[in-house]
Amino acid sequence: MSNVRRTIACLLIGLGALLLAAAVMVPTYTVGKVAKTPLDLRVTTIAKSVPGEESLVLDAKSLTSPDGSARIDTGVPIVSQRFLTVEEPSGADQMTMQAGQTLRRDDREGDTGLLTASVDRVTIDRKTGEPIPMSPNGSIALTVDKSGDSVADPSQRVGLQYRFPIGTEKKSYPYFDLNARATYDIEYIDESEVNGVPVYHFRQSIPVTNMWDVFPAATNKLTLPAAKWGLEGDGQVTMTRFYTNTRDVWVEPKTGAILKGGEQLHLYYGRSAEQVDVTALKSHLVFDEDTIDAQMAVTQDSLDRLTLFGRTLPIGLAVLGGTALLAGIILGVRSGSPRRRRAVR
């Protein structure tokens, strides 16, 4: 009988040691595998102009009409919609994100309300969120060919864009702005909450940017009669389109997911960067509640996996391992006790 007990004791001690080792290895090894941006992302984000705040849009038809000056519509409801998917090439350590985005005025139907449209692609590291070091690591499509297919221009970029690093820190990060096609720091502001979830608030300021230098499209530099620009005189006046923006994002730090975002867009025509002659677009856009809820749901799934492999499972294994180890030691001691007593006699 004592031999059976000793065998069981050895098995319990071995099992306990194995479970304790697993408790240490699971968070060390598995969390590193789990703590990556998921490859099955299909995310739609919608940002709308804030009711009651200034929202201006230049009526493009007023620039081409034979009479009158440029007309700026006020109180225009603006909607920005982005559909983000994961495309190839993607794998264990990197992923290619594609974002189709439209900006439209919501007071007009169909294409008549479309202001801008783009398709952006970038291949990033699944942990850091940074574009991978290859050339090119992205592309931007703003135009279409005769068949209606988007024409993608290669883009080489640095800086975050759609995700922050796994384990976001309270510091500034380089962040790529799609409109300016340039990278500027996004600064840590403070810690707050979004629907009860702790988040880090970051803010980025985009300096006034000459859009003709960024992308020499016809709409980025226009020469029209002075009267069309609302100026005195009979001559022709050339105006350049300029862009500036203030971007706010609220990031769940464990996953790097952006739960809430907003942009204060301002595009205008001017004879110089310092002079706003005609506003093209000015609006404060923020994620709507449905978008925030959807971002929260996706992020919560990632948090649940991190909690399972980083805390719940290791604790459970440690408790079971400790219990098995202690039981094996006790059983081993008891199985040897009778022999020691007989030896004393």
- Give the pTM: 0.82
Is residue 237 classed exposed, middle or buried when 0-12, 13-18 and 19+ CB atoms within 10 A define those classes?
Answer: middle
The percentage of the chain sitting over the pLDDT mark of 90, rounded to a whole number, equals 66
Q: Which pLDDT does position 313 carry in this prediction? A: 57
Q: Which pLDDT does position 120 carry in this prediction? A: 97
Highest mean pLDDT range out of 142-146, 188-192, 300-304, 312-316? Answer: 188-192
Query: Which of the residue ranges 21-30, 70-79, 82-91, 317-326 would you say has the lowest mean pLDDT?
Result: 21-30
Q: Which pLDDT does position 344 carry in this prediction? A: 44
| Joined tokens for residue 166 | 């796994």
Confidence of residue 37 (pLDDT cuts 50, 70, 90): confident
Q: Is the dihedral of CA 37, 38, 39, 44 positive or negative?
A: negative
Higher pLDDT, 77 or 6: 77
CB 137 within 8 A of CB 120: no
CB 169 within 8 A of CB 129: no
The answer to whether residue 29 scores a pLDDT higher than 90 is: no
Q: Which pLDDT does position 341 carry in this prediction? A: 47
Q: What is the mean pLDDT of residues 231-250?
A: 96
Rounded-to-integer distance, Cα 122 and Cα 161, Å: 9
Which of these, 147, 42, 18, 143, lies nearest to 95 by C-alpha position?
42
Q: Which pLDDT does position 215 carry in this prediction? A: 94
- Bridging pattern class, strands 138-144 and 150-155: antiparallel
Q: What 8-state DSSP symbol labels residue 41? A: -
Q: What angle do CA 113, 115, 121 make, to 5 degrees?
A: 125
Rounded-to-integer distance, Cα 92 and Cα 75, Å: 47
pLDDT, tens only, 3-15: 777 777 677 677 7
pLDDT, tens only, 80-118: 999 999 999 999 999 999 999 999 999 998 888 999 999
